[in-house]
Amino acid sequence: MLKQTQQLHRVVIRLAGDSGDGMQLTGDRFTAESAVLGNDLSTLPNYPAEIRAPAGTLPGVSSFQVHFADHDVLTPGDAPDVLVAMNPAGLKANLRDLRHGGDVIVDTDEFTKRNLARVGYETNPLEDGSLDGYQVHKVALTSLTVAALEGHEITKKEAERAKNMFALGLLSWLYSRPVEGTEAFLRAKFAARPEILDANLTAFRAGWSYGETTEDFAVIYQVQPAPMPPGTYRNINGNTALAYGLMAAAARCGLPLFLGSYPITPASDVLHELSKHKRFGVLTFQAEDEIAGVGAALGASYAGALGVTTTSGPGVALKTETIGLAVTLELPLIICDVQRGGPSTGLPTKTEQADLLQVMYGRNGEAPVPVLAARSPADCFDVAIEAARIATAYRTPVFVLTDGYLANGSEPWRIPVIEELPALQVSFATEPNGANGEFLPYLRDPQTLARPWAVPGTPGLEHRIGGIEKADGSGNISYDPANHDHMVRVRAEKVERIAESIPPLEVADPDGDARVLVLGWGSTYGPIAAACRNLREEGVHVAQAHLRHLNPFPSNTGEVLSRYDRVVVPEMNLGQLSLMLRARYLVDVAGFNRVRGLPFTSTELADHLRTVVKEVAGA
């Protein structure tokens, strides 16, 4: 059958099914195919907190969304154009998000009475007209897969489990994706089980052929590659990018990387990733708890390694006391907080930005710590390097904030040339620095206020440090009131001085006359930028800036804020950056806050900003 081919600029597809249906894998493969094809893209996985919630239930639904385009993509997309629902639960949980008139591909085999009842469908939505506003493609995915695999030496269950490959084949055909990558992937994955490999390859090809032969799909779509700067690219998620960034930073510092960590969702994958790379000299230590994880990392830093710990919000709560020790010891340490929904256990698999005040202020006494936040999955790489720069240059713990959305979401990443990455020069103290030949562990660099990093094994620099207040210079225990006041201020000043080494806050205001600034931090970058782009296309003028450094702020931040009539700060919390900005700059920033465990949609942001711009214009 000859099909028509249609060019599209962008498509958002969401795959939804049971936790056991392999939606994450299917989505990953489709993403990889699109990446290799050269589309720009962004992905959003979404899965339940349970390992395998009961099959066919709403809480058991696992979904994966991918947005791919022939141009710069900023978010995984607000509303899918296409929903692939592997069962009634997948349909029910996701239909409301679909764009009106979008395509729905369903596995009709799963729309049994029992399955419908499990999710509270009283009648079959495939028949009762509730899908009238959509293009529905009814495909008997399961039985078609089983039929295609007849004769294979596998069980029926195994055959059924290949239906995700059938679906992937169909989608790959529909969107004209290259298939070599997926076939190679399957070959590697099932190298040890040839019968399963065969089944998956067969199902994948059957899906492709089904598309070609069925009449249900009359049009093939193409999405051209997006123009991208020259370079070698790969698709990467935030956790992997963070792990790679830490490795690159250690290499640039010339230090071994030591990770002390305790598993916690959604940060565990950083531990998993780093533990694979022993050949790079990376040591990973899965500790008995978060306190021991950060303790070991601090010990490693003291011993001359780049000490890192990774965790999420509840883990930060536990590490707090040790981070306070690191502040007063003035040793490098990187603490990565992959934020998730809180408070307490909260929504462990969902995203949120509500740890900012915790990492800023959650320590006893005056214990300032620099804070950085990544804006996109690939940006986690760069932020890790910046964190290492600050930690080693200023001898201070540094927080890196990412979140569940960045951790698992992915986008194309231009692979850096290692030698072009910032050179991080680390020098250990090797000689006594005192007037009388003694070593003064708290004698500071006049510029950075950093103290010497004198690692054990260095003769002549034997010294003792600890958590009790120290005399500046000698580092000896000191209860002197004036010294304490001085030290509290020096530690604060040291962190403030970091601002001298960071770039100014950049504002994007292409029209040059915006009166409203939208200022974000962290993973809201994508939706905010997309919203601004859409608004500008509409002719609504709005300026955008995004903070990577949250402590200290770039030196021009106050000046930037003062240039606008209104500053809107969207956050996935109740206004934590707002609080910091208001306190520091006395600017009446207006928060736009949603705490739903999900990223913002660019639409809701655009809607809000449009109103604000109107208000300001009217005022």
Q: How big is the chain, counted in residues?
A: 619
Closest separation in Å from C-beta 302 to ligand TPP: 20
Closest separation in Å from C-beta 400 to other proteins: 19
Kindly state whether residue 603 participates in binding its own copies, applying the rule CB under 8 A: no
Give which of 295, 294, 239, 315 is closest to 272, Cα–Cα.
Answer: 239
- Token pair listed for 287: 């500790």
Kindly state whether residue 357 participates in binding its own copies, applying the rule CB under 8 A: yes
Question: Which residues between 137 and 196 bind other proteins (CB under 8 A)?
Answer: 181, 184-185, 188
Sequence-distant (6+) residues with CB within 8 A of 573 are 352, 353, 354, 356, 593, 595
Kindly state whether residue 346 participates in binding its own copies, applying the rule CB under 8 A: yes
Q: Which does 305 bind (CB under 5 to 8 A by kind): ligand SF4, its own copies, other proteins, none?
A: other proteins
The binding track of 427-456 with respect to ligand SF4, each residue x by CB under 6 A or -, is ------------------------------
Neighbours of 584 (CB within 10 A): 13
Question: Which residues between 59 and 88 bind its own copies (CB under 8 A)?
Answer: 59
Rounded to 10 deg, the angle between the 23-37 and 180-189 helix axes is: 140
The binding track of 396-435 with respect to other proteins, each residue x by CB under 8 A or -, is -------------------xxxx-----------------
Q: Which does 366 bind (CB under 5 to 8 A by kind): ligand SF4, other proteins, its own copies, none?
A: its own copies
| Strand-pair category, 61-69 with 40-46 | antiparallel
- Token pair listed for 54: 């009961």
Q: Which does 202 bind (CB under 5 to 8 A by kind): its own copies, other proteins, ligand SF4, none?
A: none
Closest separation in Å from C-beta 248 to other proteins: 6
Neighbours of 278 (CB within 10 A): 10
Residue with tokens 């006893």: 364
Residue with tokens 């956050």: 571
Question: Which residues between 178 and 207 bind ligand SF4 (CB under 6 A)?
Answer: none
52 secondary structure, DSSP code: S
Out of 290, 355, 411, 571, which residue is the one contacting other proteins (CB under 8 A)?
A: 290
Minimum CB distance to ligand TPP smaller for 364 or for 436: 364
Question: Which residues between 75 and 134 bind other proteins (CB under 8 A)?
Answer: none
Task: Give the torsion through C-alpha atoms of 565, 571, 575, 579, to 10 deg.
Answer: -60
Kindly state whether residue 231 participates in binding other proteins, applying the rule CB under 8 A: yes
Minimum CB distance to other proteins smaller for 214 or for 476: 476
**What is d(CA 438, CA 82) in angstroms, rounded to the nearest whole number?**
71
Kindly state whether residue 475 participates in binding its own copies, applying the rule CB under 8 A: no
**What is d(CA 65, CA 12) in angstroms, rounded to the nearest whole number?**
7
Task: Give the torsion through C-alpha atoms of 329, 331, 333, 337, to 10 deg.
Answer: 40
Out of 318, 415, 490, 499, which residue is the one contacting its own copies (CB under 8 A)?
A: 318
Give which of 446, 453, 231, 457 is closest to 331, Cα–Cα.
Answer: 453
Minimum CB distance to other proteins smaller for 272 or for 515: 272
Q: Which does 51 bind (CB under 5 to 8 A by kind): ligand SF4, ligand TPP, its own copies, none?
A: ligand SF4
| Number of amino acids touching its own copies (CB under 8 A) | 67
Kindly state whether residue 528 participates in binding its own copies, applying the rule CB under 8 A: no
Kindly state whether residue 457 participates in binding its own copies, applying the rule CB under 8 A: no
Out of 4, 155, 344, 427, which residue is the one contacting its own copies (CB under 8 A)?
A: 344
Kindly state whether residue 597 participates in binding its own copies, applying the rule CB under 8 A: yes
According to DSSP, the residues that pair with 17 across neighbouring strands are: 62
The one segment of 222-230, 243-251, 536-544, 581-589 that binds its own copies by CB under 8 A: 581-589
Question: Which residues between 265 and 304 bind ligand TPP (CB under 6 A)?
Answer: 290
The one segment of 49-57, 81-89, 212-220, 607-615 that binds other proteins by CB under 8 A: 49-57
Residue with tokens 């009217």: 618
Kindly state whether residue 595 participates in binding its own copies, applying the rule CB under 8 A: yes
Minimum CB distance to ligand TPP smaller for 64 or for 262: 262
**What is d(CA 169, CA 158) in angstroms, rounded to the nearest whole number?**
17
**What is d(CA 7, CA 18) in angstroms, rounded to the nearest whole number?**
32
Chain mean position to CA 324 = 26
Residue 209 buriedness (CB in 10 A; 0-12 / 13-18 / 19+)? middle
Give which of 469, 468, 424, 433 is closest to 451, Cα–Cα.
Answer: 433
Minimum CB distance to ligand SF4 smaller for 264 or for 605: 264
Closest separation in Å from C-beta 373 to its own copies: 15
The one segment of 62-70, 209-217, 320-328, 508-516 that binds other proteins by CB under 8 A: 320-328
Question: Which residues between 41 and 70 bind ligand SF4 (CB under 6 A)?
Answer: 51-52
Kindly state whether residue 315 participates in binding ligand TPP, applying the rule CB under 6 A: yes
Residue 231 buriedness (CB in 10 A; 0-12 / 13-18 / 19+)? exposed
Minimum CB distance to other proteins smaller for 1 or for 417: 417
Distances (CA, A) of 224 to 35, 232, 259, 610: 11, 18, 41, 31
Please check whether residue 568 is in contact with residue 517, taking contact to mean a CB–CB distance below 8 angstroms: yes
Task: Give the torsion through C-alpha atoms of 319, 320, 321, 324, to 10 deg.
Answer: 120
Interaction site with ligand SF4 (CB under 6 A): 51-52
The contact set with ligand TPP (CB under 6 A) reads 262-264, 290, 314-315, 318, 345
